Amino acid sequence: MNVSQDMELIQLVMQASLVVKIVMGILVLASLMSWWYIFMKLFSLRRARIEADEFEAHFWGGNDLVGIYQNAANRIDEIDGMERIFAAGFKEFMKSKNRAGGDIGALMDGVRRAMKATFQRELDHLESHLSFLATVGSVSPYIGLLGTVWGIMHAFRSLSNVAQATLASVAPGIAEALIATAIGLFAAIPAVIAYNRFTAQIDRLANRYESFMEEVTNILQRQAH
């Protein structure tokens, strides 16, 4: 029974008009790419959370700030997230504390700008490919609907050559057209769910980074005094 239904579905797709086939191909490609980005983002956000947990435990474990910075500087091409933000701020602190001329406000402004710039780059990296998922989630149903409208229009135009129009004669064409809408929804729903979930996770990470930046700023300010 299932094999017969699958064969009928494949047959409907193969019998669809050229425009509907192109629409289906675009939607299948968009779905495959969105799933690729979904799995990539799952692993990258999980790694970012683990790295943040490990670095916070190391940072608040009573270790010397200079030692933490030297460790980060030696692995500058390997570190991400919170550790890179700290390295940028502490590097600016070490460079500017002897040039600030006792102006602690100017010194700390430079540290904040350095960490903020690195924070923004890290946030841009975390948000990469989210716009693609948002586009797939919002546009795919309409692309599928375009294929459906075109397919139904094609099915009704073919009835002009039929002496007596019946449901049996028009049903295959409508079924072919509705497959495009189904594929559009299949592409859109996972993309929307993933986009909302990843956006929430990135917001939580961004809040952690910002809180950490404030804490580092306070620690360095006390050291400057």
Q: What single string gives the DSSP state of each residue in 130-149?
A: HHHHHHHHHHHHHHHHHHHH
Domain boundaries, the chain: 16-224
Rounded distance, CA 206 to CA 167, Å?
57
pLDDT interval class at 173 (50, 70, 90): low
- pLDDT score recorded for residue 191: 95
Rounded distance, CA 129 to CA 45, Å?
13
Rounded distance, CA 70 to CA 35, Å?
39
- pLDDT score recorded for residue 20: 79
| Averaged pLDDT of the chain | 85
Residue 198 pLDDT exceeds 90: yes
Rounded distance, CA 89 to CA 215, Å?
12
What is the length of the chain?
A: 225
- pLDDT score recorded for residue 17: 73
Residue 205 pLDDT exceeds 60: yes
pLDDT interval class at 136 (50, 70, 90): very high
The pair of structure tokens assigned to 84 is: 């890179």
- pLDDT score recorded for residue 3: 44
Which amino acid does the sequence have at 118? T
Mean pLDDT of 57-69: 86
Which is nearest to 91 in space by CA: 112, 76, 69, 108?
A: 69
Cα-based angle 205, 207, 211 (whole degrees, multiple of 5): 120
Q: What is the 3-state secondary structure (H, E, C) of 62-98?
A: CCCHHHHHHHHHHCCCCCCHHHHHHHHHHHHHHHHCC
